[in-house]
């Protein structure tokens, strides 16, 4: 939730005042936006479930599999945050243009590292440190989800929903 609030500080897109206003009869949640929410939900839950199952099948303990799953969930959400900077295309401003978002992401990464590696957090949340191989799977799955959403945006740009 807090990361989403950082989008309020996103620099406005060029030419925003030259666009026609949104038709008041058109719903705020369009079918394209609802489809994207569904797509992201299926990707996030599916990838997280798959990783948890993979880790358990590969001999990881419950705490390790749980930690991998929660880190994947957060990683997908972090990457999607950058995708949300523009609903229809690529954000036209630099990656560091929104200092609030950069700060929020940095704090979230630190929180995830604490959850994963601090013994007090491991005890409180039943988490465990992750191996480099597990981090690689987390990263690859998160990037794969981000690519699917980026492709969806590109496809929807060509279609008038």
Q: What is the pLDDT of residues 45-78, one digit of tens each?
A: 999 999 999 999 999 999 999 999 999 999 999 9
pLDDT at 156 over 90: no
CA dist 152 and 87 (Å) reads: 11
Is 117 within 8 Å of 129 (Cβ atoms)? yes
CA dist 56 and 60 (Å) reads: 5
| Domain boundaries defined on the chain | 30-158
pLDDT at 89 over 60: no
pLDDT at 1 over 80: no
**What does the mean pLDDT of the chain come to?**
88
pLDDT at 79 over 80: yes
Bigger pLDDT: 3 or 119? 119
3-state secondary structure the chain: CHHHHHHHHCCCCCCHHHCCCCCCCCCCCCHHHHHHHHHHHHHHHHHHHHHHHHHHHCCCCHHHHHHHHHHHHHHHHHHHHHHCCCCCCCCCCCCCCCHHHHHHHHHHHHHHHHHHHCHHHHHHHCCCCCCHHHHHHHHHHHHHHHHHHHHHHHHHHHCCC
Phi and psi for 96 in degrees, rounded to 5? Answer: -100, 10
| Mean pLDDT confidence for 1-21 | 75
pLDDT computed for residue 81 by the predictor: 87
The answer to whether the pTM exceeds 0.95 is no
Is 82 within 8 Å of 115 (Cβ atoms)? no
pLDDT computed for residue 62 by the predictor: 98
What is the tens place of the pLDDT at every residue in 98-138?
788 888 899 999 999 999 999 999 999 999 999 999 999 99
Q: Report the residue count for the chain.
A: 161
Is 101 within 8 Å of 6 (Cβ atoms)? yes
């Amino acid at each position: 939730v807090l990361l989403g609030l950082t989008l309020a500080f996103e620099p406005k897109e060029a030419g925003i005042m030259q666009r026609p206003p949104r038709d008041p009869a058109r719903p705020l949640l369009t079918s394209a936006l609802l489809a994207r929410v569904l797509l992201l939900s299926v990707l996030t839950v599916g990838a997280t479930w798959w990783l948890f199952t993979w880790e358990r099948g590969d001999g990881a303990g419950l705490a390790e599999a749980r930690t991998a799953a929660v880190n994947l969930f957060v990683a997908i959400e972090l990457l999607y945050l950058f995708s949300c900077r523009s609903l229809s295309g690529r954000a036209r401003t630099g990656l560091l243009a929104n200092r609030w978002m950069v700060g929020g992401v940095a704090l979230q990464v630190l929180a995830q590292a604490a959850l994963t590696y601090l013994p007090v957090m491991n005890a409180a949340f039943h988490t465990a440190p992750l191996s480099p191989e597990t981090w690689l799977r987390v990263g690859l799955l998160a990037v794969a989800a981000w690519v699917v959403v980026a492709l969806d945006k590109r496809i929807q740009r060509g279609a008038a929903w």
